[in-house]
Amino acid sequence: MDDITTETYDETYDDGDTLGGRITRARDLAGLTLEDAASRIGVTDETLSEWESDRSEPRANKIMTLAGVMGVSPAWLISGAGDAPQSPGISLAVDEMTGEINRLRELALQITSCIETLEGRLVTLTRAVNE
């Protein structure tokens, strides 16, 4: 039973990356240079570089600051749990596709309505011919 729980936990929360990898990914997707991010977090470039390369780890208060500066959840930074940050290009593409799907659904409704109208007219014409 413990094996099942462990497998489920690993599949749900293990994104295959390290804390340093997630910090680097979040910084890159936030569009921040190492220098800019370090300045906003209140640490040296060297300190942030050590965190990103997993040579050291930030304290809890710096995890909170990192998460805020980079727009991610502290839980995701620490463990990979939750939604990972996405590049703006992906978000834009998702929004565009969602819009197209909604447009196609509306067109499908209009087509269905037209088909039903034509079927009604066909029934009326068929009755008129058979009478």
Residue 98 shares a structural domain with residue 50: no
The 10s digit of each residue's pLDDT in 59-113 is 999 999 999 998 888 888 888 877 777 666 666 667 778 888 888 999 999 999 9
Residue 128 shares a structural domain with residue 69: no
Domain around 126: 86-131
Residue 44 shares a structural domain with residue 91: no
Give how many domains the chain has, as a whole number: 2
The token pair at 104 is 């196609």
Distance of CA 115 to the CA centre of its chain: 39
The 10s digit of each residue's pLDDT in 9-57 is 333 445 678 999 999 999 988 889 999 999 999 999 999 999 999 999 9
Say if residues 31 and 38 touch (Cβ distance below 8 Å): no
82 backbone φψ class: left, alpha, beta (φ>0; ψ -120 to 50) = left
Residue 15 shares a structural domain with residue 70: yes
Residue 9 shares a structural domain with residue 63: yes
Any residues with CB less than 8 A from the CB of 73 and at least 6 apart, and which? 67, 81, 82, 83
